[in-house]
Amino acid sequence: MIMPLSPSPDVAGRVDPPVGGSLPTPRRRDHGGDLDAAIASFGGRPDEWIDLSTGINRIPYSVPELASSVWQRLPTHSDFERLNQATRRAYATDAAVLPVAGAQSAIQLIPRLVPHGRAAILGPTYNEHRASLAAQGWSVSEVERLNELAGADLAIVVNPNNPDGRLHAKEALLDLATRVGRLVVDESFIDATPELSLAPLARDGRLIVLRSFGKFYGLAGARLGFVIGGGEDVARLAELAGPWNVSGAAIEIGRIALADTIWAAQTTARLQSDVRRMDKLAAQAGLELVGGTALFRLYDCADASAVQTRLARSRVWSRIFPWSKGGVRLGLPGPEGEWRQLEAALADQRS
């Protein structure tokens, strides 16, 4: 059974000693996507590995050829506004929108929106929320139930939650928003279930919605995300973000991709089918489904570290967690060759 042993992440940001006069490198918190660490431990070339430690779509949106001017000039107000219009249409909202350099950028800006006070996070969840709040002087607690967030000056809910996919109904979240100073709902993994999004209702000054572009569209390197909320809060966050906080290339790619509703519908259908295939393979390997989303699945086992090691020997990288002995998270493979490699790796779990 997966139990949160210690939900507190490394907040201190310990630095490594400088080498050869170079600047110290901040120690990164535990994240997926650390394929360098996998290769250092288990060998192999990058092209031999399937990185399933993240929830990034492995069949990405095809990046269009961009005009040379996109790279040669600073983004204009009109560029940003065209992206904002595409965002409002894609997310069915008329609230204020701020493009940012990935949802992570918004997570680091939110603690500076208002004077710090008492923050509460529904956890265990993505550890950057707590770290960013603590770095700005907030008193942060992590709770296990939604109603325990009531009374906080700032409440954080990741919906669907990362890593277990736990979902909360719109009505419950809207009710919570009336009982906190501000409610931030991180919807980084909601794209395949848009009917669950609070983006259409984010005009209320107490509610702020975060959306990720890179995960569903498979373009994490574009570093694009969105803050959706009341006009005053979004304007304040825009001041904090500064000018040109998103590149011209990200603006253009995002505008085109968000308008491609056919691709989004086809991708959602594929992911829903892939989830069923993934859960079947995992069950055959003795992994018990805990939950997940259309982009990742969380399984329980007797020893997550041992499972990760066996998968890594087949060049499949997974995600395990410091607060759980048995939790293994796997993203979904993309091309058929990746599925065959994963199937062979999972077969080794049975041997």
pLDDT tens readout for residues 220-269: 999 999 999 999 999 999 999 999 999 999 999 999 999 999 999 999 99
Confidence of residue 175 (pLDDT cuts 50, 70, 90): very high
Helix (H, G, I), strand (E, B) or coil at 242: coil
Number of residues in the chain: 351
**Whether residue 15 has pLDDT greater than 70:** no
Question: Is residue 5 situated within a structural domain?
Answer: no
Confidence of residue 13 (pLDDT cuts 50, 70, 90): very low
Question: Is residue 7 situated within a structural domain?
Answer: no
- Residue numbers of the domain that contains 178: 68-260
Q: Is 240 in the same domain as 343?
A: no
- DSSP run (H or E) holding 227: strand 225-229
Q: Whole-prediction pTM value?
A: 0.90
**Whether residue 171 has pLDDT greater than 90:** yes
CA–CA gap between residue 303 and residue 268 (Å, rounded) = 32
Query: Cβ distance 15 to 24 under 8 Å?
Result: yes
Which domain-ending residue is among 260, 288, 305? 260
Q: Is 90 in the same domain as 183?
A: yes
Confidence of residue 205 (pLDDT cuts 50, 70, 90): confident
CA–CA gap between residue 254 and residue 250 (Å, rounded) = 6
**Per-residue pLDDT tens over the stretch 17-61:** 444 444 444 445 667 778 999 999 999 999 999 999 999 999 999
CA–CA gap between residue 339 and residue 50 (Å, rounded) = 10
Structural domain count of the chain: 2
298: CATH: 3.90.1150.10
Higher-pLDDT residue of 14 and 351 is 351
Query: Cβ distance 158 to 122 under 8 Å?
Result: yes
Tokens encoding 105? 């950028």
**Whether residue 292 has pLDDT greater than 80:** yes
The b-or-e profile of 48-60 (16+ CB within 10 A means b, else e) is: ebbbbbbbbbbeb
pLDDT at 33: 78
Which domain-ending residue is among 260, 294, 319? 260
**Whether residue 4 has pLDDT greater than 80:** no
pLDDT at 339: 98
